[in-house]
Chain A
Amino acid sequence: MSLQLKAGQHSMAGRQFINQDFADFSLPSAGLLRDKGAVFAIADGIGSSQVSQLASETAVRSFILDYFATNPAWSVPHAALQVLKACHRWLYQQNKHSSYGQNPDKGYCCTFSALVLRQQQAHWIHLGDCRIYLYRNAQLSQLTRDQRSWQAGQQLLSQALGAGPEIVPEQQQLSLCAGDCFLLASDGLFDFISQPALATLLASVTASADLDQLAQQLANTALANGSDDNISVQLVQVLAVPAQSQLPGGLLASAQLPDGLLPGSLDARLPLPPLLQSGSVLDGMTVQRVLSQTNRSHLYLVALPDGTPAVLKAPSQTLANDDLYLEKLLREEWIARRVHSPYVLRAAQPDSGAQAMAPRSAIYSLFAYIEGQTLAQWRLQQATPDLQQVLGIIEQTGKALQALHRAEILHQDIRPQNVMLDAQGQVCVIDFGAARLAGLQSDQEVAGDIPGTALFTAPEYFTGQAGSCQSDLYSLAALCYYLLTGQSPYGPDIARCKNLPAQQRLSYQPIVGRHNDWPQWLDLTLQKALQVDPAKRYQHLSEFLYDLRQPNPLLGRELTLQAAYPLRLWQCLCYLQALLILWLLVV
């Protein structure tokens, strides 16, 4: 069952001349609702300004529009924050470049609260003093906190969209239950209807209630209670929540992959492709040759109907019942379609103008064909690899990871077999089978097995921690180390260390001295990127990539005692002083 919602709203100027509030929502259709959710936003222009109604309308409209345009791989909080920040910066710049630049109280400023309901979660982002309430089990609770402060006996907003260079919105989330009712309202409403009265009114909401009418009724009640402000109210009723067991992205069960190829439910999903051979035809594609067959997947080089070469990745027959694996296989193409970088594998695209692809008759993923060799094969051909070439490869791989990280995707399986090098020296990161998407994360995967390969997987995975960008950084640095030396920075022992104390006993084996041309500081860079503790690694990939080419004076420097242990040092000095005083007293 998918998420089912019903919504209604009402906004009126009330006793004011103009309505500076603005409220709107978007309830998209099934596919988008599952991926991005439904969005409800309300904004209240500040009363001291004559133009704040423009700010509130702009904020709400652009938030809803831009939120749905964000990368589907992004998590809801990240997407909401990015969109709201962009919205804020635009309003702020408008203020700066207008006559209100010196006096934001008169400019394009508004409060803003938005609610995003996606799958089993409600997320909200909030700035200012509109409110979001949740009515559940006959109890009304206020989810947001009013960002108001008292100054000179007057209540003022502590934050507003468009005012001040930076905003720090409040962001939270909770799990949805069927029957939940959310209420978003501006201060013209909740300042004039007490919370118990609101609860009483919401208790009358039934599944068949007309929410627009109810919203209007609420606004009229506030007006009757003497509200002198604009009144806006939105009501959202959660009719049904999807079951927890549904797979994260729902690709298997959805018609979401390109060309609407998958039927609507898990029971009626597509079969696995048959075992293909050179010359076989599947969905209009001709198999040119078998690239590899393992117990996980089969890779075939195929020619699309228009002749474009592509790689078809089909699941191994034995995994027909492993839904999580099949889901991940489909997700690989999903990722390839959404991350645009010259260093990241693309999905297969027929030439423009060519006839449309036939609908898929089986579960598989299609990727662009990269002519080249994996770094594992490349490394075997190099007796002593050229440092500059290796650094070039690592930089390109790093850029691929940056592109993935920007889309909130962790690759989690960077190793020589998963990076292709073409004849021109261009790198392409392949295989997203172990990738983790913030936007599509599921509990099953968090508790699942360790991604990647023992020697290139960051140590924290073995101790049960979740991965981070630093984990991919570790793998990248381990790849660099491997390409240079053909070995692992901690030797094969790292694969046998499954707990933190054992990992901390490992010692990094320096590369200095193995080759005359390699600079000594390269060790410092690699060592920092390969720390067992992710917090001690570089915090950004870009820092590591920069330090690969330039010696970093901060890395090599031995810390002085005072810098390393400031507290201990002064404590010791005090103890010594105390002893000296005692001794002098005695003598």
Chain B
Amino acid sequence: MAYLIPAEFVSKMVDAGEAKIFMSTRDTLIRAFMAGAILALAAVFAVTVSVQTGSPLAGAMLFPVGFIMLYLMGFDLLTGVFVLTPLAWLDRRAGVTIPGILRNWGLVFCGNFAGALTVAFMMAFVFTMGFDAPAGPVGEKLAGVGEARTVGYAAHGVSGWLTIFLRGMLCNWMVSMGVVGAMISTNVSGKVIAMWMPIMLFFYMVFEHSVVNMFLFPFALLMGGDFSVMDYLLWNEIPTALGNLVGGLAFTGLTLYSTHYKTAPKRELLQNNSFSGNKKAA
């Protein structure tokens, strides 16, 4: 059977979270770098598809290939560890501490950023023949994304900041559904289907993904986008990352953990009554 019952895959989530906290620095960085790079490449691919076909839906439908590739290769995104590692802490696994979790997040953030920056630089070079020619329609489109989604939010002040925060929450609700969904199945086709749905949804809805943005905005800056690094950090990356953290943890991690992993004690109480004769206590 290529399917895990909920209690099984939630225990797998907690185990995975614990394993990530105890992962060596080297491995954490390598896996995070590759994840950031592959996701960035997938973003370029998706934008290329949507520009060339004129249909954003086509781009969104094909974007999940990046996420699927990196997940199948065992690489880690910041959005994934946001959801998984706190579960190990909640489950009071020995040796799992808040500093340990923060360390993991920090390393994954750095790794993702470095990977996305690498691809951003490589793609900027490719699109412009080594900064010697115009970028073409895809390059222009990518370069234009940055401005609207930084200065655009800033124009609305606190409401703008909250908007991007909420978009971040919505994004990682979906993305972490992809991460967790992949755990439900034990074969590749099942994992691919489970990941495809939520990732496609988030990309088409233009929710804010902190790692995708690590590529989009530095790329836009490289292509001469009219916003500053500070604009990017304050009005995009930071609220997005915070939104990703809250959304993923609240809507996916904690809900699954509390309903499927911590159900046992409640049942125990009910069942204790049944020992005293009340067999059908339900």
Contacts and interface: CB of A to CB of B under 8 A. Distances in A.
A289 B186 CA distance: 27
Interface residues of A: mostly helix, strand, loop or mixed? loop
Interface in A484-533: 487-488, 491-492, 495-498
Given A294-B7, A415-B94, A279 B1 contact: no
B264 A292 contact: yes
Interface of A: 275, 278-279, 288-296, 316-318, 320, 376, 380, 415-416, 453-456, 482, 487-488, 491-492, 495-498
Contact of A496 (B3, B15, B24): B24
B8 A492 contact: no
B4 interface: yes
Given A278-B271, A279-B279, A482 B22 contact: no
B56 interface: no
Interface residues of B, number: 30
A13 B8 CA distance: 70
B225 interface: no
Nearest to B24: A496
A288 B275 contact: yes
A495 B95 contact: yes
Q: Sorted from nearest, which 5 A-B pairs have the closest CB atoms?
A: A495-B22, A293-B7, A294-B11, A289-B271, A496-B24
Contact of B8 (A289, A316, A454, A488): A316
5 contacts: A294-B11, A317-B5, A318-B1, A416-B94, A487-B95
Nearest to A288: B271
B92 A380 contact: yes
A487 B95 CA distance: 6
Given A275-B5, A295-B15, A289 B268 contact: yes
Contacts of B92: 376, 380
Contacts of B95: 454-455, 487-488, 491-492, 495
A488 B94 contact: yes
Contacts of A278: 267, 271, 274
Contacts of B15: 295
Nearest to A317: B1
B165 interface: no
Q: Which of A316, A318, A453, A488 has the largest count of B CB atoms less than 10 A from its CB?
A: A318
B238 to A, nearest CB: 28
Contacts of A292: 264
B23 A496 contact: yes
A120 B96 CA distance: 45
B149 interface: no
A290 B12 CA distance: 18
A419 to B, nearest CB: 13
A320 B1 contact: yes
B201 to A, nearest CB: 27
B264 A492 contact: no
A318 B4 contact: yes
A482 B94 contact: yes
B159 interface: no
B8 A295 contact: yes
